[in-house]
Amino acid sequence: MFPWLIFGVVAVPLLLVGFMATRRKTDAGEHPASGETLTEKELSEAEAYEEKWHEEDKERYREERLP
């Protein structure tokens, strides 16, 4: 009887605390901190770079396909 009592009093609460700590970490990881968000300027620069990269990639693709 003692092993079941020890298991219920010690192991179960430890497992619950560990589970809650893990849940708290993943919840915090899903939401960026306030300092990690992109500004409008950074976002527009990223979109411009992406568009430029696509154009260069199209040119590279044409050069590779046509000997």
| pLDDT tens profile 5-39 | 888 888 889 999 998 888 877 666 665 555 667 78
Cα distances (angstroms) measured from residue 56 to each of 12, 46, 53, 60, 66: 59, 15, 5, 6, 16
Looking at the structure of the chain, the number of domains it has is 1
User: Quick check: is 52 in a domain?
Assistant: yes
- pTM for the whole structure: 0.38
Name the DSSP class of 33.
-
What confidence score (pLDDT) does residue 27 get?
Answer: 63
The tokens describing 2, both together, are: 């003692």
User: Quick check: is 35 in a domain?
Assistant: no
User: Quick check: is 21 in a domain?
Assistant: yes
- pLDDT tens digits, residue range 30-55? 655 556 677 888 889 999 999 999 99
User: Quick check: is 34 in a domain?
Assistant: no
Which domain covers residue 55, as residue numbers? 2-29+40-65
User: Quick check: is 13 in a domain?
Assistant: yes
What confidence score (pLDDT) does residue 53 get?
Answer: 92
User: Quick check: is 20 in a domain?
Assistant: yes
